[in-house]
Structure 1
Amino acid sequence: MSKELSVSVVLGTYNGETYLREQLDSIFAQTVFPQEIIAIDDGSSDGTVAILHEYAARTPRMKVVVNAQNLGFIRNFEKGCTLATGRWIALCDQDDYWMPEKIEKMVEAIGDHEMVYCDSILCDENLQPLGNRISDLVHYQSFDDPRQLCVFSRMYGHATLITNRLFQRSQPFLKEVPHDGWLAYHATLYGGVLYLAEVLVKYRQHAGNVFGVVGRKKKPDPRERSERKKRELERIRIRMQAYCDACPDQLVPQKKLLRALVRSYRNFAPGNDLRRMILFFANYKRLLVVKNYSTPRKWLFCLKMLVKIK
């Protein structure tokens, strides 16, 4: 760690004692040392806070903040980012492992972009590779159009580096939208998202993941499906409206599509269902760009918009 860069690592923790030491070791082993490490704990009841203080005793550049009450992972990361003073912010989960050159390579790559993200290799709970990268499961590329990320986003916080300026522009976070997707969307409005096609993170999969491997879903209880669908529709309405509001008026084609999507998600009246399907067919190359689907499968997805909400 012979060099230092103006990077604030924001580490969100909550009852993460099982894997936390390995993550902290990987941060301390970076080829460049961050300007600061902000560890913000969301009210852990295990040994997480003690571990954080143990590592903070090694360097004055690591700060530990413990919330008086649980904020949830989105608000926890938002609070951590408000404390960041570096030019760039590297979001960090408590259970992964960073390759030694992660910070250095991402700072070298970001250039004039507001966000850069790298690839990750999926690992089991012991950090043994499972045989897939995230880029094998979704379509990774650079993004410069909000229409590309308004429906689906596969930007994962552990693999991103953002400018502090982007965070300021993206406040406040919404509880209905994961913070990494919210930041990535805003990045397309202000300089774009750059993809660094290199594996720089071991992405650990285990029972306690807030978000696990791409595509892994729990099947809902049939009795809960109706209520779950209502909640999901409400989240989509809020997200679409927020995305539309954030999009500058001078981005005329983008704003036009976002407004149309907002209207199509008002309810499940047949006219809105048909409108939503037509919008997806007309814009599938952008709206479904992150989906690692063949063209016929994307068309099938658009057809399902008659009866689905996403």
Structure 2
Amino acid sequence: MNINQSETQNHVSSEFPLVSIVMATYNGNKYLTQQMESIVAQSYPNIEVIIVDDRSTDDTVEILQRFQQQYSFLKIIRNEVNLGYIKNFEKGCLLANGELIALCDQDDYWHIDKIKNMQAAIGNYPLIYCDSILCDEHLKPLGVNISDRVNSIDFNSCLQQVVFCRIYGHATLMTKFFLQQAVPFLEVIPHDWWLCYMATFYGGIKYLPEQLVSYRQHAANIFGVVGSKSRKHNKINKAERNRLEMSRIRTRMNAFYNACPDALVKEKAVLKKLVKTYQDFSLVNNFQRMMLFFKYQDQFLASKKRSAIRRYLFCLKMFVIIK
């Protein structure tokens, strides 16, 4: 390497810190090539791509290897056992070398300036997210953005993320320092939800109102169109599904309560009350849960794009429903 090359690399690394793009793959051959094309075409000049494959049985790895032959900044890790998507993302994040980490799904399409614009806007925040365009399986826009369906704003309180999170991993960029505070990921909480909740303790979440991802909606999504239910338990009978959902919610609420710093006295007290009301469907707990939702609806429903009357009705329903 000559002196000019060294100076150029030093300039790039100082002005454009390394960004690690972390992708978790599993049998993603159908849409993977398009996504990879959008990643390697990023205008940001200093990236590495960490791809962790979770024992794919199709030709996902072969597709990745073809890209790796052309782009030296791609690293492919193949799991020896299946980890599941949450722990697969955690593994990739822990292998990242960049000062900043961007999560990446295997089936979307990134706009060319996604990393460039998000890196320029993150400032001192631990995590930033952008808007996304909802598309069909052929990447044809559906005429609606995520911000049309949910409140896309800055968030600074854990109470704004404890009941609902409508920030999706594919749209996020975070600092490595923050990521190291947020691990391990819990298997009962989607990793992007956990990260957004934890980010409120380290400076909050910034919103960048630019559509920088084409968010593909298709039958194989782990989660469907924004706000819909997970499909992964469709084959389980309703009673068993409800029991599993209740168990997950209780575990999630306890994890959120335990993660909240004692210094946040008000938030900790609210979470403690909320945890208690999630223990069962007794009349006392049902009533107290409903009243908590009425009292803290601005925080609990911060992600919900709803009229005042719909918010009122939602809080009323908490007497018989647990969210």
TM-score range, shorter chain: over 0.9
Which residue of structure 1 aligns with residue 120 of structure 2?
A: 108
CA drift of 1:182 comes to 0.3
In structure 2, the CA distance between the partners of 1:228 and 1:34, relative to structure 1 (3 Å rule), is farther
1:70 aligned onto 2:90: no
Evaluate the alpha carbon distance shift between residue 223 and residue 5 of structure 1 in structure 2; reply closer, same or farther with a 3 A threshold: closer
CA 1:221–1:129 in structure 2 vs 1: closer, same or farther (change >3 Å)?
closer
1:16 to 14, 28, 40: 28
Q: 1:231 pairs with 215, 234, 244, which one?
A: 244
CA offsets 1:255-285 (integer angstroms, 9 cap, x no match): 1111110111111111111110010000001
The one-letter amino acid of 1:195's match is Y
Separation of aligned partners in 2, 1:266 and 1:10: 36
Structure 1 residues 222 and 37: CA distance shift in structure 2, 3 A: closer
The verdict on how the C-alpha distance between 1:55 and 1:221 changes in structure 2, with shifts beyond 3 A counting, is: closer
Partner of 2:270: 257
Alpha carbons of structure 1 residues 221 and 73: separation in structure 2 relative to 1, 3 Å = closer
Give the direction of change, closer, same or farther, for the CA distance of 1:221–1:184 in structure 2 (3 Å limit): closer
| Alpha-carbon distance between aligned partners in 2 of 1:34 and 1:297, rounded to the nearest angstrom | 46
Contact (CA 8 Å) 2:166, 2:227: kept in 1 or not?
Answer: no
CA contact (8 A) 2:223 2:230 kept: no
> Which of 203, 220, 227 is residue 208 of structure 1 equivalent to?
220
1:177-201 alpha-carbon deviations (Å, 9 max, x no partner) = 0000000000001110000001000
- Partners of 1:113 and 1:289 in 2: how far apart? 19
* Residue from 45, 48, 52 that aligns with 1:36: 48
Runs of 5+ consecutive residues of structure 1 not aligned to the other structure: none
* Alpha-carbon distance between aligned partners in 2 of 1:19 and 1:193, rounded to the nearest angstrom: 30
CA distance in 2, matches of 1:250, 1:233: 29
Which deviations, in whole Å up to 9, do the C-alpha atoms of 1:230-257 show, x marking residues without a partner? 2111111111111111111111111111
Q: Aligned partners of 2:291 and 2:239: how far apart in 1?
A: 25
1:289 and 1:22, CA in 2 relative to 1: closer, same or farther beyond 3 A?
A: same
Contact 1:9 1:34 in 2 (8 A): no
Partner of 2:150: 138
Asked whether the 8 Å contact 1:5–1:33 carries over to 2, the reply is no
Structure 1 residue 173 corresponds to structure 2 residue 180: no
Shift of residue 221, structure 1, vs aligned partner: 7.2
Deviations 1:73-104 (A, max 9, x none): 10100010110011110000001010000001
Task: Provide the residue aligned with 2:6 in structure 1.
Answer: none
Is 1:292 the counterpart of 2:309 in the alignment?
no
Aligned-residue RMSD, C-alpha: 1.7
**Match for residue 275 of structure 1 among 288, 302, 305:** 288
Please tell me the residue identity of whatever aligns with 1:192. Answer: G
For residues 216 and 177 of structure 1, what CA distance do their matches in structure 2 show?
Answer: 16
Q: Say how many residue pairs are matched.
A: 309
| Partner-residue secondary structure (3-state), 1:189 | coil
Q: Shift of residue 70 of structure 1?
A: 1.1
> In the alignment, is the contact (CA less than 8 A) between 2:222 and 2:230 conserved in 1?
no
Normalising to structure 2: TM-score of the pair? 0.92
Which of these residues, 297, 305, 309, is aligned with residue 318 of structure 2? 305
For 1:233, give the aligned amino acid.
M
Cα offset for 1:216? 3.4
Identity level (%): 50
**8 Å Cα contact 2:188/2:251 also seen in 1:** yes
Structure 2: gaps spanning 5 or more residues = 1-8
Provide the residue aligned with 1:148 in structure 2.
160
Relative to the length of structure 1, the TM-score reads 0.96
- For 1:209 and 1:138, the matched residues in 2 are separated by 19
Q: Which SS does the other structure have where 2:137 is aligned?
A: coil
Instruction: Answer yes or no: is the 8 Å Cα contact 2:53–2:77 preserved in 1.
Output: yes
Residues 42 and 114, structure 2, Cα contact 8 Å, conserved in 1: yes
Moved more, 27-36 or 209-218: 209-218
Structure 1 residue 224: deviation in Å? Answer: 2.1
> Partner of 2:130 in structure 1?
118
